Amino acid sequence: MTISSTVRKAGPFDGTGSQTEFPFEFKVFSAGDLYVVQYNETSEVETALALHEDYTVTLNEDQNEDPGGTVELNSALAVNYTLTITSSLANLQPTDLTNRGGFYPSVINDALDRAC
């Protein structure tokens, strides 16, 4: 997959007191690759939310052709709160290419996608 954007962030989304679904448009390999944070504008406190406890994720089926998905909070984001979705992927390069091994372009593409 070619990368047309290096932005791995969605939001901040302003809380309305009724909205629970928030889209993001960057590639991830699993729901656990996301870092979701809510910020209380009144108290100026930032809180990391927990997957399955505070929110669920629906990923688009083909992350190469249609990256992203939707984060759904278990309860609506309150007024005076914002929500930001970003990547939690570590800055590691776990792909190991060996001499005389099979060369699969998808392996290289995924490794490079992780780097962004």
Per 3-state DSSP, the chain is made up of helix, strand and coil in percentages (nearest 5) of: 10, 35, 55
Let me know: does 78 contact 15? Beta carbons within 8 Å.
yes
pLDDT in tens, 82-100: 999 998 765 555 556 666 7
Phi, psi (degrees; rounded to nearest 5) at 89: -65, 130
Q: How many residues does the structure list for the chain? A: 116
Let me know: does 43 contact 100? Beta carbons within 8 Å.
no
The answer to whether residue 27 scores a pLDDT higher than 70 is yes
Cβ neighbours of residue 99 closer than 8 Å, sequence gap 6 or more: none
- The mean predicted confidence, pLDDT, of the chain is 84
Let me know: does 77 contact 15? Beta carbons within 8 Å.
yes
The answer to whether residue 1 scores a pLDDT higher than 50 is no
DSSP 76: P
The reported pTM is 0.73
The answer to whether residue 109 scores a pLDDT higher than 80 is no
**Which structure tokens are listed for 3?**
């990368």
